Amino acid sequence: MKVIASLFLSAFATVAIAQDRDWSAAQQPFTIYGSTHYVGTAGISAILVTSPQGHILVDGTTAKGAEVVAANIRTLGYKLKDVKYILSSHSHEDHAGGVSALQKLTGATVLAGTANVETMRTGVSPKIDPQFGSLSNFAGSAKVRGVTDGEVIKLGTLAVTAHSTPGHTAGGTSWSWQSCEAEKCKNVVFVDSVTAVSADSYRFTDHPEVVAQLRSSFATIEGLKCDVAIAAHPEVNDLWGRQQRSANEGSAAYVDTNGCKTIVEAGRKRLETRLVSEGK
């Protein structure tokens, strides 16, 4: 039994290490549509939205991934000092761990859902987080400002709208904007995580307010104008498959008016499965 347990723990550790490596691993940057570019790692999305007047970065990936994001921005020919805002989807290490380093490199202001501001400043998640107790702390950022639902962040020709999508975290935020190629403009949505993930001891059935938040977030995302959907975890909406198809299809590979709904369907299925399992 000890040998079996040892092998199990070893296998578990190997999987965890591989996952962490994927989340922080280098990934060549690429353009998704118009002024929207992927600058994240092999496992975590980070998006650069560009304009002649300055740029907006959505998420910073992991602490180790920050250098990947910075290098990718440079590879695309943009200057770090021209990044004026860093927008946060949610305050977990895999998406926010690199924000502090990127904020220092760019001088940008960090914007996050109001309920996540304190975590972005301290790097410590609150007890109300479903994953509390299983989360890694991360470096906090100095210049953090809260945003409210429907608030529009303007920078030159860019206008990015914040959409409150709590549940995965209390201040979870999805972001939408338009990107254009010639005169063809598309509605782009960066969809925050809407998955029912928690620490082992947490029961969603004991927290109906969090279940209600997730269901409200599903409805919010489904109601958005969404031509191009980008998930916080790129595989959720098959970003890598789309990237492969773009070799033949160009940016049309990323256009899918059902993309936001696909992400929501996965989140809704996971939540309902979890609630059923807790009721057994």
Which is it for strands 83-87 and 55-58: parallel, antiparallel or unpaired? parallel
Q: Quote the radius of gyration of the chain (alpha carbons, Å).
A: 18
Domain of 95, CATH number, reads 3.60.15.10
Q: Which residue has the tokens 């970065």?
A: 57
Stretch 214-220: mean pLDDT: 99
Q: Is residue 145 part of a domain?
A: yes
Q: Is residue 1 part of a domain?
A: no
Q: Is residue 199 part of a domain?
A: yes
In angstroms, the CA 18 to CA 215 distance is 32
Q: Is residue 224 part of a domain?
A: yes
Contact 137, 146 (CB under 8 A): no
Q: What is the pLDDT of residues 94-145, one digit of tens each?
A: 999 999 999 999 999 999 999 999 999 999 999 999 999 999 999 999 999 9
Q: Is residue 117 part of a domain?
A: yes
Q: Is residue 252 part of a domain?
A: yes
- Residue 125 belongs to what domain range? 28-278
Q: Is residue 9 part of a domain?
A: no
Residue 226 reports pLDDT greater than 70: yes
Which is it for strands 83-87 and 228-231: parallel, antiparallel or unpaired? unpaired
Q: Is residue 35 part of a domain?
A: yes
How many domains are contained in the chain? 1
In angstroms, the CA 277 to CA 280 distance is 5
Q: What is the pLDDT of residues 146-192, one digit of tens each?
A: 999 999 999 999 999 999 999 999 999 999 999 999 999 999 999 99
